[in-house]
Amino acid sequence: MIDKQKIEQCIREILIALGEDPDRDGIKDTPRRVAKMYEEVFQGIQYTNDEIADQFGTCFEEDMDFLSKDGIILVKDIECTSYCEHHMALIYDMHITVAYKPKDKVIGLSKIARIADMVCRRLQIQERITSDIFYIIEKVTDSDDIYVKVDGKHGCMTARGIKKHQAVTFTEQKSGIFQQQPPTF
Ligand SMILES: Nc1nc2c(ncn2[C@@H]2O[C@H](COP(=O)(O)OP(=O)(O)OP(=O)(O)O)[C@@H](O)[C@H]2O)c(=O)[nH]1
Ligand SMILES: [Zn+2]
């Protein structure tokens, strides 16, 4: 569980270290707000990838032509935000694409987005966001053919430091049929 009281104390200390008056009207509730925000945006820290797979692993095992006819399923433009673990800066404008070729079951579509969303609610690097989603989708679907692509902007690279406002980072992980031929979409 996230220790909200401790976070509140620490944010108050940070405000003081910045030279702010933590009791002035505009920011007197900021420690409480930040603690509440962290509880929301870092919810995924308290779950392992296996627990996320259990939580969002709703699958359907119906007989369908689709499964025997080389069908693939692809969800694109899953919009997410996360926080880089080096600066705790926002990773934003992220679009996540997940594709897989089902073996003998399909996963509920919204669960793909829920998995991506929960993995992003951690201190992350983009490479690990990609591999965490890959691992969970592989575990839930048992598929040998998986494709995960993430693109995003890193606040630590656009709003500070090198300040390349347009720089977008792409990461991809793929297995099986997608190694030779990434999906077209
Ligand atoms: N590979 C990878 N690196 C990241 C990610 N997010 C942030 N970083 C990088 O983490 C690195 C941390 O480098 P440091 O030299 O320790 O930190 P810094 O002095 O703030 O570096 P600058 O950003 O270059 O000013 C930087 O190069 C960031 O761009 C990510 O998702 N993946
Ligand atoms: Zn960073």
Q: How large is the ipTM?
A: 0.92
Is residue 145 within 8 A of residue 101, CB to CB? The reply is yes
Range of the domain at 139: 57-180
Q: How many helices (H) and strands (E) does the chain have?
A: 8, 7
Q: Is residue 80 flagged as an active site residue?
A: no
The total domain count for the chain is: 2
Residues 71 and 33 in one domain: no
Q: Using 50, 70 and 90 to split pLDDT, how confident is the model at 9? A: very high
Q: Which of 5, 9, 79, 86 is catalytic?
A: 86
Check residue 73 and give its pLDDT.
Answer: 96
Helix axes 109-120, 126-141, angle to 10 degrees: 140
Is residue 140 within 8 A of residue 98, CB to CB? The reply is no
pLDDT exceeds cutoff 90 at 185: no
Check residue 69 and give its pLDDT.
Answer: 81
In this structure, the residue with its CA closest to atom 5 of ligand 1 is 125
Check residue 158 and give its pLDDT.
Answer: 97
Residues 32-54 pLDDT 10s: 999 999 999 999 999 999 999 99
Residues 176 and 149 in one domain: yes
Residue with tokens 């119906």: 62
Taking residue 77's Cβ as centre, other Cβ atoms within 10 Å add up to 9
Check residue 2 and give its pLDDT.
Answer: 93
What is the model's pTM?
A: 0.95
Residues 166 and 106 in one domain: yes
- The CATH number assigned to the domain holding 26 equals 1.10.286.10
pLDDT exceeds cutoff 90 at 61: no
* Amino acid (1-letter code) at residue 107: I
* Amino acid (1-letter code) at residue 60: F
Does the beta carbon of 84 lie inside 6 Å of ligand 1? yes
Domain assignment present for 87: yes
Residues 66 and 108 in one domain: yes
pLDDT exceeds cutoff 90 at 10: yes
Residues 68 and 117 in one domain: yes
In this structure, the residue with its CA closest to atom 14 of ligand 1 is 86
Does the beta carbon of 130 lie inside 6 Å of ligand 1? no
Domain assignment present for 73: yes
Q: Is residue 86 flagged as an active site residue?
A: yes
Compute, in angstroms, the gap from residue 78 CA to the centroid of ligand 2: 22
Domain assignment present for 51: no
Check residue 62 and give its pLDDT.
Answer: 77
Domain assignment present for 30: yes
Please provide the size of the chain in residues.
185
Check residue 94 and give its pLDDT.
Answer: 98
Q: Using 50, 70 and 90 to split pLDDT, how confident is the model at 175? A: very high
Q: d(Cα 72, Cα 102) in Å, to the nearest integer?
A: 7
Q: Using 50, 70 and 90 to split pLDDT, how confident is the model at 101? A: very high
Residues 164 and 91 in one domain: yes
Residues 84 and 17 in one domain: no
Is residue 39 within 8 A of residue 4, CB to CB? The reply is yes
Residues 112 and 158 in one domain: yes
Check residue 148 and give its pLDDT.
Answer: 98
Check residue 1 and give its pLDDT.
Answer: 85
**In 109-140, which positions are buried (b, 16+ CB within 10 angstroms) versus exposed (e)?**
eebbbbbbbbbbbbebbbebbbbbbbbbbbeb
Check residue 177 and give its pLDDT.
Answer: 96
Check residue 65 and give its pLDDT.
Answer: 82
Domain assignment present for 102: yes
